[in-house]
Chain A
Amino acid sequence: MVMPDTRTRWRCRRGMLENDLLLGRFLDHGYDSLDQEGRDAFERLLGYPDNLLLDLVLGRQATVDSGIARLVPLIRAATADRPEA
């Protein structure tokens, strides 16, 4: 199992609560199943400005980065599947 390192965890601290929750939940539920390519894509996603990041994850905008596009449903599922957590 691949645990996110603390550096990745800290960089999931964002300017918006929505992103804090989405990324935080994904770190705990989903990140460990990513392969190296997926983890690299996640790092690229963290480099996006907050508004764009949220638009991508909520599907308001599409991306040509196929690695990030593959992550989006996983990130959404990590939050939506656990409403009580």
Chain B
Amino acid sequence: MKLTTRKFDALIIGAGGAGLRAALQLSNADARVAVVSKVFPTRSHTVAAQGGVNAALANVLPDSWHWHMFDTIKGSDYLGDQDAIEYMCRAAPKVVYELEHFGVPFSRLDNGGIYQRAFGGQSQNFGKEQAARTCAAADRTGHAILHSLYQQNLRARTHFFDEYFAIDLIKDEAGYVLGVVAFEILSGEPIVIEAKTTLIATGGAGQIFRTNTNALSNTGDGMAMALRAGVPLEDMEFVQFHPTGIAGRGMLITEGVRGEGGFLINGEGERFMERYAPQAKDLASRDVVSRAIAIEIREGRGCGKNKDHVLLDMRHLGTDTIMKKLPGIREMSMTFLGVDPIEKPIAVFPTCHYSMGGIPTNRDGQVVVPVKDTPEDPVPGLYAAGEAACVSVHGANRLGGNSLLDILVFGRAAANHILDFLKENRYHRPLPQASVDQALERLSRWERKGDGEAVEPLRRELRKVMEDHCGVFRTAEVMQEGVDKLRVLRERIENAVIRDHTQTFNTARIEAMELENLMDCAMATMCSALGREESRGAHSRVDFPERDDERWLKHSLYSLLDDSMDYKPVRTQPVTVESFPPKKRVY
């Protein structure tokens, strides 16, 4: 078969904020850049980020990058790498001003400066008064950033492979990553995209959970590609959940509803949060509320015919309050559940929102792996940024406003390092045919006909296993059972078949390959969560309820080979300032 081959200096997989920020930096420096995206770039999940970007501009209240750094480390429950966090917080004002120049329409103060709003977890003076650090473009900051970056890339003549699906990385025997094998979704034709450097920016893997807030495209494709190329995934057990997602759908119902006086009830009509948090009740912290919901359901006190959710009741607030203060929530409930919350309570369940873990990188965006006694040896030619990566600035828990910042700072940093790498690596290395063939085999595997299970029921089962065994209620017993179920599923997926074998726009084949990626990310998450015998940040173990710095102040590394776990130290030494030692987290 004649295979189309294209060559570039830099290849970027994924066209969200991280990928496009990197691409722009590279194109502006006259590198030949290609961006591969399975959906049209402006349909990347970055559009869904409403909140904003944190930067210590001090436009509204006094602020400093050092306070921002402290808040981020504390928020990470001391698992974040302090050198990367210092770098990010120092770079934040610069990336925000760059966005301003790219045309992002930030909300403004009367004096013309960028408006900054206060978010949870932000403080002045290392944990004292509330800070106002989040720069926003109304409630659609992600949308504004993504569209501006896309426009800028068109101007800079970045080459886009729109609606191409990346199958696997190409890697030679010396360990260099040399591009990717992909296929064009329109024609089904495979293509080899050779590149001196490859950046993975494919976003998170929220779709491994049945209830999640992520777009359907967030199937962890880049994370799974890294795993298959022998790169372990870091800290995958840390998944941010929000207690009140619309049951069976995933979209968030904000805390504002409970703030206004809405409360949760179980299948017996009981306000159960009074038992779990007698003082704060329904306004207890997110993890406490999430776990309480999970326990009620596990113990048979759920609502509905399957007893698989609880209810968020706001009827007592009255029509006026709901219409005036919560119109958006009412609209969501009516649209997605057919339920008017003035008349009936809303079915809710904890929903997965963000993956803190991902492909391990240093603060230059280089993918790093343990080699002998070195915990962080760079993989030549391979980079990662954004939610797909774990740099790790979020550690065990991410602060609001830090994810857009992460994609911008480290998309840019990776691009700068790529430019240095390109100066020293001027020529393409020979293409390793064996690696190309292996990727093509992954594609042709789905040509197989005959008997076998269908993809969609397997996907549903996978997501349910993750929800039941690796959600907010985690014990060794529950998760070991989950690992066993995932192993069985993995074998069943290996034998699955698709019925549609056409070449043009074969969405069945894409969904099948996404399922394989989900499978790898799910196993990484479950094994990492089972391994970590403590509660830290978003990872909460019922059987190990305390943080254990003596044993567990370290990063998890999951390898696909034998589903094995390894660990590496947290980088507790910042670049220029004193380290922040672990303390009990109190807000």
Band of interface residues on A = 20 to 34
Residues in A neighbouring B339, C-beta threshold 8 A: 83
**CA distance in complex: A11, B126 (Å):** 47
Decide yes or no: A10 and B185 within 8 Å by CB, A5-B505, A51-B140, A80-B334 being known contacts.
yes
Min Cβ gap B204→A in Å is 12
Q: Is the CB of B185 within 8 A of A51?
A: no
Q: Is the CB of B335 within 8 A of A76?
A: yes
Residues in B neighbouring A16, C-beta threshold 8 A: 45, 47-48, 215
Q: Is the CB of A51 within 8 A of B338?
A: no
Q: Is the CB of B338 within 8 A of A58?
A: no
Q: Is the CB of B505 within 8 A of A83?
A: no
Chain A 12-46 against B: per-residue CB contact (8 Å), 1 yes, 0 no? 01111110111010000000000000000000000
Q: Is the CB of B335 within 8 A of A79?
A: yes
Contact partner, B331, options A6, A7, A49, A58, Cβ 8 Å: A58
Which of B36-44, B69-77, B276-284, B570-578 interfaces with chain A? B36-44
Q: Is the CB of B215 within 8 A of A80?
A: no
Min Cβ gap A19→B in Å is 8
Residues in A neighbouring B336, C-beta threshold 8 A: 18, 21, 79-80, 83
B251 contacts the other chain (CB 8 A): yes
Q: Is the CB of A50 within 8 A of B143?
A: yes
Q: Is the CB of B251 within 8 A of A14?
A: no
Decide yes or no: A10 and B505 within 8 Å by CB, A15-B44, A17-B48, A20-B216 being known contacts.
yes
Residues in B neighbouring A70, C-beta threshold 8 A: none
Contact partner, B335, options A9, A24, A50, A80, Cβ 8 Å: A80
Residues in A neighbouring B506, C-beta threshold 8 A: 6
Q: Is the CB of B338 within 8 A of A17?
A: no
Contact partner, B215, options A9, A17, A83, Cβ 8 Å: A17
Residues in B neighbouring A13, C-beta threshold 8 A: 38-39, 43, 215-217
- Chain B, Cβ-Cβ closest to A81: B338
**CA distance in complex: A21, B336 (Å):** 9
Min Cβ gap B44→A in Å is 5
A-side interface mostly:
helix
Residues in B neighbouring A14, C-beta threshold 8 A: 39, 43, 215-216
Residues in B neighbouring A51, C-beta threshold 8 A: 47, 140, 143
**CA distance in complex: A24, B250 (Å):** 15
Min Cβ gap A23→B in Å is 10
**CA distance in complex: A83, B332 (Å):** 12
Residues in A neighbouring B38, C-beta threshold 8 A: 13
Chain B 206-220 against A: per-residue CB contact (8 Å), 1 yes, 0 no? 000000111111000
B561 contacts the other chain (CB 8 A): no
Residues in B neighbouring A81, C-beta threshold 8 A: 338
Taking CB atoms and an 8 Å cut-off, the chain B residues in 14-64 that contact chain A are 38-40, 42-48
Q: Is the CB of B43 within 8 A of A9?
A: no
Interface residues of B, Cβ cutoff 8 Å to A: 38-40, 42-48, 140, 143, 146-147, 163, 185-186, 212-217, 249-251, 331-332, 334-339, 504-507, 510
Minimum-distance CB pairs A-B, first 7: A15-B47, A6-B505, A80-B338, A83-B338, A16-B48, A20-B216, A7-B505
**19 more CB-based (< 8 A) A-B contacts, given A6-B507, A17-B212:** A6-B505, A10-B163, A10-B185, A10-B510, A11-B40, A15-B48, A15-B146, A15-B217, A16-B48, A17-B213, A17-B249, A17-B250, A18-B251, A21-B249, A21-B336, A49-B143, A51-B47, A79-B335, A80-B335
Interface residues of A, Cβ cutoff 8 Å to B: 5-7, 9-11, 13-18, 20-22, 24, 49-51, 58-59, 76, 79-83
